Structure 1
């Protein structure tokens, strides 16, 4: 199997990379919890159901399917990267088929930053990037780690000034 290309290979020589990150780990937490619960159900079924080759094989194959699905979802999260350069924002995703979405920063007209209570507690958020009346390949970035840093960097590049924080006396 061919290894997915690194997203830095898509950065042009005339661009400067500003930020590169993988989405927050909470994105795969649901898969990990589901796998743990299903393994628990399979374990209870193995103890409670009468022994036999059919039941044993079904439980073994069920556990194998849970493991394969969880491994695939974690692999998807691992290879997915977001890169912001001084000219565009790119999202590369896909384990077997790689897809690279891109939005030029020159088309950005509005930024919306959203953080739920859990997002504030665990350190992730969603950035909505809007363009001049067009649907772009990349308009929402969910589960961004340290979203304040990304929001400030993209605001500075798009709108020209860094967000001013009040100074403390």
Structure 2
């Protein structure tokens, strides 16, 4: 997916655009499966009761609330989080209802590193560490293809 052109300055080109790694979605999917399974079991359990329609309504409301909070919201948050490297800067945009953004011009970056644990290496993700001239180092967690992003960013710094 291409980063929206209206958020870039004239003649700026996107080099890398990433969302956080899909591992962030494992817990929301597990929650979805658990809520559906438990709600289905409880619905079947009360089906012979005279008050079953009210119980089903309660289960549906509780299930939708849990799925909305613990599945839908994290998925939307994942989808609206962007890590972008252009030929001029590094951008991070995140948030659902309120947006937060950070831009670092490439000319202010003094160093780039990445860290990967064993599980992160197996999943192809990691932490990208960007050192700026004026600030402490900034860490971006769960960057998919972190070694490739590191190499591309390092290449852009050399230009």
What root-mean-square deviation, in Å, do the aligned CA atoms of Structure 1 and Structure 2 show? 2.4
Which of the numbers 31, 36, 47 marks the counterpart of 1:39?
A: 36
Q: 1:32 to 1:141 in 2, by over 3 A?
A: same
The CA distance in 1 between the partners of 2:4 and 2:77, in whole Å, is 14
8 Å contact kept, 1:7–1:83: no
- Structure 1 residue runs of 5 or longer lacking an equivalent are 1-5, 162-169
The CA distance in 2 between the partners of 1:126 and 1:7, in whole Å, is 24
User: Could you say which residue in structure 2 is the equivalent of 1:151?
Assistant: 150
Q: 1:8 to 1:17 in 2, by over 3 A?
A: same
8 Å contact kept, 1:28–1:74: yes
What's the CA shift for 1:54? 4.7
Q: TM-score w.r.t. structure 1 length?
A: 0.76
8 Å contact kept, 1:39–1:66: no
Q: Cα deviation per residue 1:91-119 (whole Å; 9 max; x = unaligned)? A: 12223333322112222223221112222
- Structure 2 residue runs of 5 or longer lacking an equivalent are none
Counterpart check, 1:140 vs 2:139:
yes
Q: TM-score w.r.t. structure 2 length?
A: 0.80
What's the CA shift for 1:135? 4.9
The CA distance in 2 between the partners of 1:150 and 1:15, in whole Å, is 18
